[in-house]
Amino acid sequence: MLQNPKQTKDEIVQWIRDYFASSIPNACAVVGVSGGKDSSVVAALCTQALGKDRVVGVTMPDGKQPDIDDSHALIEHLGIKHIEVNIGQITGAFLNTFSSIDAFKEITGKDGLVGEAKINFAPRMRMSVLYAIAQSLPTGGLVANTCNASEDYVGYSTKYGDAAGDFSPLANMMVEEVLQIGRELGLPEQLVKKTPSDGLSGMSDEDKLGFTYAQLDKYIATGVCEDLAVKEKIDRLHVRNLHKLQLMPSYKKN
């Protein structure tokens, strides 16, 4: 828990200003807006740091997105620029292509992409869209990463998808701390309190993970988890997904 959410919020805002000033002055922040707490908080922080004219909120429904109104509400609340790119046709064509490749069927034993391979395509496509927009802006753009420390700890992100980006305001903030900052920013309560979900699997984040964010945050902060099965699962996920947090290993010649 943050002892002084306002101070932390102000420090992140200044950190964003300093990063942009030292990287690409006058560039815009490009934020994928899902309507969830993380992207809402990041978009609000960028708006305070850079001004609404230097933030571009991007919505990327995959066909129809049931909670797209939450994304639009956040964009209207902040008054930022908005681009909507529906990736439905792209993902559909991609998945159909794999279904028609005989060699893929022979090597994998599958008739097309399934499971995590299928679920993870949309986040990777969305990150491609964000970079395409950032590189098209007259002043240049830097893509915001919207992951938080709790989800990063257990690898609850897509490598080269939502785990990518140019700067990460919340990488060291646990879920409860993100909520504190969201309230400090005066975000609409329905966005701050919204049940988090990946928007891909049809499950809430906590249902998919198999434990609550409160359990995860407590374990990260204190090392204490009363439920042994949950502790073992968190430890297992953390070790298995460390590669998402580390630089790509490379051979170093003598």
CATH number at residue 28: 3.40.50.620
Tally Cβ neighbours within 10 Å of residue 15: 14
Q: Is residue 251 part of a domain?
A: no
Q: Is residue 254 part of a domain?
A: no
Measured CA to CA, the distance from residue 45 to residue 12 in angstroms comes to 7
Q: Is residue 250 part of a domain?
A: no
Q: Is residue 180 part of a domain?
A: yes
pLDDT at position 201 is 59
pLDDT at position 208 is 87
Beta bridge partners of 148: none
pLDDT at position 196 is 67
Beta bridge partners of 32: 58
Amino acid at 38: D
Q: Is residue 249 part of a domain?
A: no
pLDDT at position 25 is 94
pLDDT at position 21 is 97
Q: Is residue 65 part of a domain?
A: yes
Range of the domain at 160: 5-244
Measured CA to CA, the distance from residue 118 to residue 91 in angstroms comes to 9
pLDDT at position 161 is 96
Beta bridge partners of 55: 29
pLDDT at position 198 is 59
The β-bridge relationship of strands 81-84 and 55-59 is parallel
pLDDT at position 199 is 61
pTM over 0.75: yes
Give 10-residue mean pLDDT values along the chain (254 residues): 96 98 96 94 98 98 89 96 96 93 95 92 96 98 97 95 97 96 92 70 81 95 96 96 92 92
* Cβ-contact 60, 85 below 8 angstroms: yes
Residue 137 DSSP label: S
Domain count, the chain: 1
Measured CA to CA, the distance from residue 5 to residue 160 in angstroms comes to 30
Q: Is residue 252 part of a domain?
A: no
Question: Pick from 147, 153, 148, 152: which is nearest to 219 by CA?
Answer: 153
- At residue 166, the 3 state secondary structure works out as coil
